[in-house]
Amino acid sequence: MRVRKKAVFNWSGGKDSALALQKTLQEDEFEVIALLTTINEETLTSSMHSIPLNLLLKQADSIGIPLYTVLLSKDKSTNEERMAEAVEHFKSQKVAHFIFGDIFLDDVKTYRESKLKPFGIEVVEPLWEKTSEEIMSDFLNSGIKTKIIVAQADKLDQTFIGRDIDSDFAKSLPDEIDLCGENGEYHTFSYDGELFKNKIDFKISKVKRMSYAFKMENGEIKSYEYWQAEISE
């Protein structure tokens, strides 16, 4: 009997993450023992998509793989230590692979490898180097259902919040926007499809315009405005 390799899947809750996980499970090379998600310790929402912890738990329960959370602090002073503790926790369980849903951003992949290689962990990228058009086609054929919950305000207007990713959506995107939002133009919440045993019911209570400041590699501080949905059960 073939022995599958133990792996942890780094779960964002969005469409590329769901597609990469579905592909991983179908190919059956890895035994995914946990979905790892980083959580803002103040808001108890995911650090990238602002998905509430209770809905992340519902996703994990519906998928049938336990959620493992790492709480990240606003001042970032202990975040590397907390991530290292998480990696060591899984290494003790004979995990040697961390799986991600990235597509083509070399700097992101290089960063992940630089952080995990010292622990002897290999980065696995099931969607890597496919074009955004290929990924969108694969996603639309996957049966996964997902809604936009975050959109970059200077690139997409508020009406995109709450929209499902379908063939009509793909045709409506402005030309300068990456079809999969790989440059951060939008983020999603996946809630139904073959990956899930049952549909996750949720609602958008309101949409806020939020401003976030990011420190670039050259030290420059850049601010970005986003439309952000507040979602709940």
Give me the pLDDT at residue 218, please: 66
How far apart CA 124 and CA 230 sit, in angstroms, is 32
How far apart CA 56 and CA 60 sit, in angstroms, is 6
Q: How many domains does the chain have?
A: 2
Q: Residues 61-84, buried b or exposed e (16+ Cβ, 10 A)?
A: ebbebebbbbebeeeeeebeeebe
Count of positions (residues) in the chain:
233
Shared domain for 60 and 149, answered yes or no, is: no
Of 90, 124, 158, the last residue of a domain is 124
Give me the pLDDT at residue 37, please: 96
Beta bridge partners of 37: 69
Shared domain for 78 and 162, answered yes or no, is: no
Shared domain for 62 and 118, answered yes or no, is: yes
Give me the pLDDT at residue 182, please: 87
**Owning domain of residue 208:** 144-232
How far apart CA 62 and CA 70 sit, in angstroms, is 20
205 domain residue, yes or no: yes
Of 91, 124, 157, the last residue of a domain is 124
In which residue ranges of the chain is pLDDT below 70? 1, 214-218
Give me the pLDDT at residue 216, please: 62
134 domain residue, yes or no: no
DSSP H or E segment with residue 213? strand 203-215
Q: Which CATH number belongs to the domain containing residue 22 in this structure?
A: 3.40.50.620
Of 96, 124, 152, the last residue of a domain is 124
Pairing of strands 203-215, 221-232: antiparallel
